[in-house]
Amino acid sequence: MFHWFNKNKEYLSCSWLEYGIYFSFNGLYHCCMFSHSHENDFPVSLPNANLTYNFKDFFNKKQLIRKQQRRGIINNRCLGCFSLEKKFWIPDNKIRKIAIGTNTACNSCCIYCTTPEKRKMLNKRPDIPIFEFFKKAINKDMITPECEIEFGGGEPTLMREFEDIMNYLLDKNFKNIKIHSSGIKYSSAIERALKSDCCELVISPDSGNRELYKKIKLTDKFDEVWGNIEKYNNAQNQIKTQVQVKYIIIPKINDSEENIEEFFNQIIKYNVKLIRLDIETNWFIEHNNPKDISQILNTVKFFINKARSLNIKYCNNATLDAIKNQYRDLYSSFIQD
């Protein structure tokens, strides 16, 4: 559709490379996947970018990347990435994807996130001043109205500027906001966004009883989190389902039928409409073989059958989707869509 101004050429690229910006604790990047490499020299990053938001410099770098992509040069780190697609890309200087994953403070301490020692260190990290970016970029008309804006870990509601940023985005009519929260601290800005159909909220208690919650989160906030899920649920505009409660299956921790039954008891009690299901990513990296995957898919099957029998909507999260893609036949022998 847009090929008339794109030199009539389809090419392999991804929406992050073309239009994305990722806020990390140490600067701005083109996508969040760099964090998977643990390397500082990821060539599509912006290692010299500071937080003065020099947009000219930023878009010049984007143009250089686009030039490479058009010539068919794919960065090694991007090879095989599921985000790559061949199509006509819009060549304008607009931001259409924003991810905020600054790895600063969190009020939870999930065993699959970082070790408790590292969490203590992360909790001391200062906030990154992101509100300034939004004000500048929106005033200069650099963010499209339909831009996807995603807040992730640390815990967004602990960011000093979070309520201000959210209220500003809502005032400016941004409707495509996604927030991953521990659910421990209630946010009136999230409530406002839910009421006006402008955000998806994902909370991952991963458990249906207090002891198990404590074991996974290393914090004793089970009742608070489910209480907040209920409040957000009541606030959400009922036309769209926006509050998503996630269950990350962690083998040997919360994968028994009893664990799953208890989780569904909470889902029913708090009238949750949409569940997001995933597999613990570190486990998948270490057990990426057909035998272990078969075992986990058996658990997934039990979980999904339970959701279906209760008529509760569910969807796969990223790691489960990756398993589904990699083990297509095996997956469909357990779960029929």
Q: How far is the CB of 290 from ligand SF4 (least distance, A)?
A: 26
* Residues that contact ligand SF4, how many (by CB under 6 A): 21
Half-sphere exposure of 323 (CA within 13 A, CB side): 31
Q: Where are the beta strands (DSSP E) in 25-119?
A: 27-29, 85-87, 95-100
Alpha-carbon distances of 243 from 201, 227, 240, rounded to whole Å = 5, 13, 9
> Is 33 among the residues that bind ligand SF4 (CB under 6 A)?
yes
Tell me: does residue 44 bind ligand SF4 (CB under 6 A).
yes
Binding span for ligand SF4 by CB under 6 A among 29-37, 125-133, 194-202, 318-326: 29-37
Question: Of residues 31, 177, 245, 296, which one binds ligand SF4 by CB under 6 A?
Answer: 31
Tell me how far, at minimum, the Cβ of 34 lies from ligand SF4, in Å.
Answer: 7
Q: How far is the CB of 83 from ligand SF4 (least distance, A)?
A: 4
CB 81 within 8 A of CB 14: yes
Between 14 and 169, name the residue whose CB sits nearer to ligand SF4. 14
306 alpha-carbon distance from chain centroid: 25
Q: How many CB atoms lie within 10 A of CB 221?
A: 20
Q: Which long-range contacts (CB under 8 A, 24 or more apart) does 134-139 make?
A: 134/165, 134/168, 134/169, 135/168, 136/53, 136/55, 137/53, 137/55, 137/95, 138/168, 138/172
Our CB check for ligand SF4 shows the closer of 182 and 207 to be 182
Pick the binder of ligand SF4 from 110, 198, 293, 307 (CB under 6 A): 110
Closest by alpha carbon to 299, among 252, 246, 238? 252
Residues from 88 through 107 that contact ligand SF4 (CB under 6 A): 106
Contact track, ligand SF4, 161-190, x by CB under 6 A: ---------------------x--------
Nearest to 248 by CA among 122, 110, 104, 137: 110
Of the listed pieces 13-21, 163-171, 194-202, 254-262, which binds ligand SF4 according to CB under 6 A? 13-21
| 212 CB-near residues (< 8 Å, 6+ apart) | 206, 253, 254, 259, 262
Q: Which is nearest to 199 in space by CA: 142, 159, 270, 151?
A: 151
Q: Which stretch binds ligand SF4 (CB under 6 A): 3-11, 152-160, 185-193, 274-282?
A: 152-160
Q: Which of 83, 326 has the CB closer to ligand SF4?
A: 83
Distances (CA, A) of 309 to 78, 88, 142, 296, 313: 40, 43, 46, 20, 10
According to CB under 6 A, which residues from 272 to 311 bind ligand SF4? Answer: none
Q: Whose Cβ is closer to ligand SF4: residue 113's or residue 272's?
A: 113
Q: Rounded to the nearest whole angstrom, what is the least distance from the CB of residue 132 to ligand SF4 in the complex?
A: 23
Q: Which of residues 52-81 bind ligand SF4 (CB under 6 A)?
A: 77-78, 81
Which listed range, 91-99, 150-158, 276-284, 320-328, lies at the site for ligand SF4 (CB under 6 A)? 150-158
- 208 neighbors 264 (Cβ within 8 angstroms): yes
Chain residues binding ligand SF4 by CB under 6 A are: 14, 16-17, 30-31, 33, 44, 77-78, 81, 83-84, 106, 108-110, 113, 153-155, 182
